[in-house]
Structure 1
């Protein structure tokens, strides 16, 4: 049982560290080290549940932009002599967004070469268009939404409706580009926290468990907003395969209590009660801890798939 684990000194003081748990202690209710560490483990589960949602957003954005720009400008559309920008002057300094895109694609191509050399012993590999696209950093797709590329005969607004096929929040292409770039930036920064298993519930002004959980649901809503903006069909794929509902279920007070081993166990002594409980679990999208009395006592967790 988790309550029989010796949490101090090694587990908390050295392997998790008090510095990390100090950020959890004032926010999450706990009466002992089991429940404090449980809040820390809950954050790990939250990261795990959010990652598929974030991946769906990143890959959908990346592929939608790449498809539109490839059809417009051809393969390797990011090359300097192909991807034009508004403030270009011969011999002038490139703006930050342009330099960042060039750098990101160069790093992506180098990474393809390194991978082929280390995995397959292929020397002097020539990365393909799609291999490079797959290795790009998320920031690439934020920079490409810069206003430097918004002008007649540039990629925006020509391709904006081809990339973002959902319902726009505005009829103005320039406002659409600006707001979407801000949305992508917010999601990218959150994705970086999730990827490093940082306390993803943290935000300035969060002072309680409920505020932490509300913050997570705000992020989930923004991720879904981006996916729906790009493709309502991809939104439905995420929903109908349970990716969204799992993220929503894990980002809950109930799941936090489960990780803290503070979830009350419900006694189940009949198949009828078990069926009713299972149905309610599905409706409420929550985890329930049960003790099943049939040929002795069996402890189980039930939750929707």
Structure 2
């Protein structure tokens, strides 16, 4: 497919970003668009595995904290309803209730694992925000037992925010290989590095497991050649 037809069917507003990043070269813009898709594709197994592993690590820690394998159900009227969470509009509680409603519509049982699977990535990262973190008495930091001593809640929150925003760009077919009209892979490289840091801080074997699926170097180099 040539550039003009791609612009017609994908949308001018989306494709013109690539044209701008390639100094109005339609040939390079087409190559960059394809390279961006392949780079995003290579991120999928890394992002997906990280999300699952991180979610389960958070869940295990919360089970310990509440001494309750069904905390995600039973804490709706406890931790999740604490007045200090009013400023976040009780996001955690509302996410659980929304998940339960979706499962009811599907006529599926309301088990902790089913409710967990319905949660978005932001649900799990929210436990590192100041108010939930304080209510949990910092126990959630135990998700990362091998983190550097200097790494505190805010540092982990910032890393998780960066990963979440990048993840959303990948999942919504947004550019991840340029910004401000210039080819730029720094975000992709930083997110990859930060994901591996967090995995090592949970358990080194998790890093090795996800690394097995990493095909990013080839895709990054392809963008650099454009």
**TM-score, length-scaled by structure 1:** 0.65
> 2:129 matched to 1:160?
no
Change in CA separation of 1:98 and 1:57 when aligned onto 2, cut-off 3 Å: farther
2:11 to 17, 32, 47: 17
- More relative contact order, 1 or 2 (CA 8 Å, 6+ apart): 2
Asked whether the 8 Å contact 1:213–1:251 carries over to 2, the reply is: yes
Q: Which has the higher helix share?
A: 2
Q: Deviations over 1:38-60 (max 9, x none)?
A: 21111111111111111122111
Change in CA separation of 1:12 and 1:95 when aligned onto 2, cut-off 3 Å: same
Change in CA separation of 1:57 and 1:97 when aligned onto 2, cut-off 3 Å: farther
> 2:32 matched to 1:39?
yes
> 2:56 matched to 1:75?
no
1:178 to 154, 173, 176: 154
CA distance in 1, matches of 2:16, 2:126: 36
1:195 to 156, 168, 171: 171
Asked whether the 8 Å contact 1:70–1:77 carries over to 2, the reply is: yes
> 2:96 matched to 1:102?
no
Q: Which residue of 1 aligns with 2:58?
A: 65
Q: Deviations over 1:186-233 (max 9, x none)?
A: 111111110011112244xx4533xx1233212211222222222221
Q: Which residue of 2 aligns with 1:131?
A: 114
Q: Which residue of 1 aligns with 2:193?
A: 221
State the SS of the aligned residue for 2:19.
coil
**TM-score, length-scaled by structure 2:** 0.85
Change in CA separation of 1:82 and 1:233 when aligned onto 2, cut-off 3 Å: farther
Change in CA separation of 1:97 and 1:233 when aligned onto 2, cut-off 3 Å: farther
* Greater C-alpha radius of gyration: 1
Asked whether the 8 Å contact 2:176–2:187 carries over to 1, the reply is: no
| Equivalent residues, number | 223
1:52 to 39, 45, 48: 45
CA distance in 2, matches of 1:129, 1:140: 14
CA-atom RMSD in angstroms: 2.6
Q: Deviations over 1:249-303 (max 9, x none)?
A: 2122x3564xx7xxxxxxxxxxxxxxxxxxxxxxxxxxxxxxxxxxxxxxxxxxx
State the SS of the aligned residue for 1:132.
helix
Q: Deviations over 1:9-55 (max 9, x none)?
A: xx234202332222112323675x34321211111111111111111
1:249 to 209, 218, 221: 218
> 2:179 matched to 1:208?
no
Change in CA separation of 1:69 and 1:7 when aligned onto 2, cut-off 3 Å: closer
CA distance in 2, matches of 1:39, 1:213: 12
Asked whether the 8 Å contact 1:142–1:181 carries over to 2, the reply is: yes
Asked whether the 8 Å contact 1:142–1:184 carries over to 2, the reply is: yes
